[in-house]
Amino acid sequence: MTELKINVIDLANYLKKQINEGEKLMSSTPSYESVEFKKLYKKCKRWHKFNSTLLETSFSNTIYLLEYRKTTKSEVVLIENYKAIEINTILENGIEYLQSLLERIPLITKSNTKVSKNPSIFVSHSSKDSEIARSVVDILETIGINHKDIFCTSLDGYGIDLGKNWLQVLKEKLDDNVTVIFILSENFYESRICLCEMGATWIKTINHIPLIVPPKTLSDIGEVIPLTQGFIINNKAGFNQLKEQLEKEFNIENHIKQQIWESKRDRILNNISTLISKSEEKSLSKEVYNSTGQTNVDEIIRERAKLEWKDDFEMQINYIENQKKAYKEIIDYKPFGISVHELNNIKNNSITEWKDDFEMQLNLGCSIKVKKFPNFLTLI
């Protein structure tokens, strides 16, 4: 749907002025080789250029500009040569088109009124980063964005209603009035759904703000969003700039007091930093754990279940569930008072003793050996 980008009265006045100017140019008939004809030719080019610029900047797409060029056939005529009969044809066809467009303005205005939307924000993120997304939404509301203008799929009240097709809802919500905030983390890069979502938003919207989650860096955004300015997600200056930008886009008049803004911003960003630290520790633990050969965990568990209980499918299912639960607990396992390095050494030793049995690694490996540390205060 085409939207009008300037005031309808201004457009009508411009069209009337250009129609009158074109009629004056047509009334002048100097001889072909005279100096006056060359002046007329230059005026005609300026008239045509103004019309093209007016149609290009007044509407949200190029449909009227293309119609004008097709009607006047002016692009070829004015560039290649100039003859009196051809210039008159351009003027006559151009005037006729501008008059028809002037008559269609009421219909264009009516259509434009129907499709006009308020600005909104879509927070694109991995479901694994829902807590970080929550903090981003908190800071957007602190800036003054109404919760109704924020779309965030993993948060209750901000996402998609039960039973709705998320791709269809996304398609309906996305347009040029939507600012998309990408939370670019390792989880985001690893998610096919996120990358699919990014493709849809890239096509349907024009405003994109990447927030980079460490250990990703600013240089990493070039892999997926080239030429787009972003910032590290816990950067104060970046959010100050974002605040100023959104206040303008959303016409926020009641600005939050600077002292209150800084206090709330810092509290939210500290929470984001804490979430990032926990995520990095978990990733390091998993990386070290998998580096010892514990890859393809699901396959290892299934094969072990078949070997232990060849004809007992109920026991296989029970074994698989317990082993997967134990594996997850090992990855998340971080008792108080022990460094990540020390804990990873314990895990590595447990893997050596019980390579394919995650329950044994957890219960007889990690738990028992951790108790030997004198500064261990919290026992499992």
Confidence of residue 146 (pLDDT cuts 50, 70, 90): very high
Q: How confident is the model over 157-167, as a mean pLDDT? A: 68
Choose between 140 and 60: higher pLDDT: 140
Question: Taking 50 as the threshold, does the pLDDT of residue 230 lie above it?
Answer: yes
Give the pLDDT score at 131. 94
Q: How confident is the model over 325-342, as a mean pLDDT? A: 68
Confidence of residue 339 (pLDDT cuts 50, 70, 90): low
CB pairs under 8 A, 24+ apart, for 263-269? 264/139, 264/142, 265/139, 265/142, 265/236, 265/239, 265/240, 266/236, 268/135, 268/138, 268/139, 268/142, 269/135, 269/139, 269/234, 269/236, 269/239
Q: Which of 3-17, 27-41, 215-229, 237-251 has the highest mean pLDDT?
A: 237-251
Interior/surface letters 232-260, b for 16+ CB within 10 angstroms, e for the rest: ebbeeebbeebbeebbeebeeeeebeeee
Give the pLDDT score at 118. 76
Question: Taking 80 as the threshold, does the pLDDT of residue 1 lie above it?
Answer: no
| Nearest of 180, 133, 173 to residue 154 by alpha carbon | 133
Give the pLDDT score at 153. 83
In this structure, of 144-153, 155-164, 193-202, 232-241, the range with the lowest mean pLDDT score is: 155-164
Give the pLDDT score at 82. 54
Q: How confident is the model over 243-253, as a mean pLDDT? A: 91
Give the pLDDT score at 185. 92
In tens, the pLDDT along 68-126 reads 888 877 554 454 455 555 677 778 888 998 998 888 877 665 555 444 467 899 999 99
How open is the CA angle 199-141-228, to the nearest 5 degrees? 35
- Report helix, strand or coil for 255: coil
Question: Taking 80 as the threshold, does the pLDDT of residue 170 lie above it?
Answer: no
| Nearest of 146, 190, 198 to residue 170 by alpha carbon | 198
Question: Taking 90 as the threshold, does the pLDDT of residue 303 lie above it?
Answer: no
Say which CATH class 120-274 falls into.
Answer: alpha beta
Give the pLDDT score at 207. 84
Residues of the chain with CATH 3.40.50.10140: 120-274
Question: Taking 80 as the threshold, does the pLDDT of residue 183 lie above it?
Answer: yes
Confidence of residue 213 (pLDDT cuts 50, 70, 90): very high
Q: Which of 243-252, 277-286, 294-303 has the highest mean pLDDT?
A: 243-252
Give the pLDDT score at 80. 45
Question: Taking 90 as the threshold, does the pLDDT of residue 137 lie above it?
Answer: yes
Can you give the pTM of this predicted structure? 0.50
> What dihedral do alpha carbons 332, 337, 341, 344 form, nearest 10°?
-40
| pLDDT, averaged across the chain | 77
Question: Taking 90 as the threshold, does the pLDDT of residue 246 lie above it?
Answer: yes
| Nearest of 296, 135, 123 to residue 194 by alpha carbon | 123
Q: Would you say 288 and 345 are in contact if contact means Cβ atoms under 8 Å apart?
A: no
Q: How confident is the model over 56-79, as a mean pLDDT? A: 74
